[in-house]
Copies of this chain bind each other. A is one copy, B any other.
Amino acid sequence: MSFPFAPHVSAMSPGASASPSDASAEASDDERLARLALARIIEPGSIAVHGALASQPATAVWERLRAGAPLGQLGQQALDGIAGRADGYDPRRDLDRLQQVGARVLCPGDAEWPAVSLAWDPLVMEGDVKQMAPPWVLFVRGPADLADLCSRSVAVVGARAATAYGTHVASQLCFGLSEAGVTVVSGGAYGIDAAAHRAALDAQAAPTVAVLASGVDVAYPRAHERLLAQVAEQGLLVSEVPPGSSPTRVRFLVRNRIIAALSGATVVVEAALRSGSLSTAGRAINLGKPVLAVPGPVTSAQSAGCHELIRSGKAVLATQLSEVLELTGAIGEHLPESMRGPVHPRDKLPEIVRRVLDAVPVRVPVGVARIARTAGVSALVVQQVLPPLLVAGLVEQRDGGWRLTTLGAGR
């Protein structure tokens, strides 16, 4: 019943423990254990915990909650429940369990903590699930390095009740992605997720990452015990909840933001209109990352969500591997900045847009192919960038070509 790292909690002098949210220093063992403990007593995505960790070490936050002290906006009922769960809990038991299954605890500041997590955006877009904070701890199981795998990764998600068509497309795509050295990230579920992981494993090239809504030692669904074991052998299982945890509806939704955050782009292969994979797409958009959707027959309910993503302009239509790779590369790296905050004509435009704009001549109109050559981007990129510039009044169409307007040529 002894609190295993109580001595350190009193070490509150600024020099003793840098704010862990700096992500500049590796967490101490106590700090790591406290973050694990917080994951045990409170659901992931907590804004209150995230806020507290910005100014206090996790050991202090854990101590506060264990004592039932107020934290952020948490109500008394929530605080009582948290204190109850903390009572008598020893995080070393969870640590032992993790070590037994070959898993480890990652914290911000670790070399393996994915750099993409910096892109966390707690804001929610209309119609999306409730506001959620970045993860403060990740449990990973497998031989690969998470930061390494996420440096070039694509989430491929979709319907559990996938059709033969969707499974086929997901398999082809993910086999190709793995062969191209891209990590396939998915959720380990039936249908599209399973097809994605299996094809990535079959390619025997880049490893695959399954982000779970359960603990990394819990096989869910049970039928995927062998599949998840294979992923853990060659790639990684990732979770925000401690070992032994069962998945819940909320944990699936919270998990989806991790899938989006760990990936350079998100591809939705099949999704009905209320599919959970649409929440992953929404999270990716929040994070300023490109979303692609694979179309299908308009007569198939399992493609209706994909079509809606494309129609609403949230996703780019994707038909083949090269189109996914294109958005995973140059554009994807530039998009996050473009999707945040306000941008002003010319000087504050996203880099890729500015490159295209710089390639449009002032006087004699030229075609898309010429602009693409000058800008050093694909014709497809030019075709996607020009219409918004036209609406913005920065470029105009003349004699079958494109040139700058007075506004576009000036500042």
Contact = CB atoms under 8 A, between A and B. Distances in A.
Interface string A115-131: 00000000111101000
Contacts of A320: 298
A201 to B, nearest CB: 23
Given A123-B399, A165-B299, A343-B393, 14 more contacts: A295-B307, A295-B317, A296-B298, A311-B380, A312-B383, A314-B383, A340-B397, A343-B390, A343-B396, A349-B391, A353-B391, A387-B388, A388-B392, A389-B392
Contacts of A99: none
B323 A316 contact: no
B168 A299 contact: yes
A285 to B, nearest CB: 10
Contact of A124 (B311, B338, B393, B400): B400
A14 interface: no
Interface of A: 123-126, 128, 165, 168-169, 294-299, 303-304, 307, 310-314, 316-320, 323, 338-345, 348-350, 353, 367-369, 380, 383-384, 387-394, 396-397, 399-401, 405-407
Contact of A126 (B296, B367, B407): B367
B298 A401 contact: no
Contact of A304 (B299, B314, B319, B369): B319
A298 B304 contact: no
A391 B343 contact: yes
A391 B384 CA distance: 12
B342 A126 contact: no
A317 B311 contact: yes
Nearest to A347: B393
Given A311-B323, A344-B407, A387-B313, A297 B393 contact: no
Contacts of A340: 397
B323 A400 contact: no
A407 B346 CA distance: 13
Contacts of A299: 165, 168-169
Contact of A350 (B345, B348, B391, B405): B391
Contacts of A397: 123, 125, 339-340
A221 B32 CA distance: 76
B298 A297 contact: no
A313 B379 CA distance: 12
B344 A319 contact: no
Contacts of A297: 165, 295-297
A219 to B, nearest CB: 32
A344 B295 contact: no
A237 B388 CA distance: 39
A297 B154 CA distance: 21
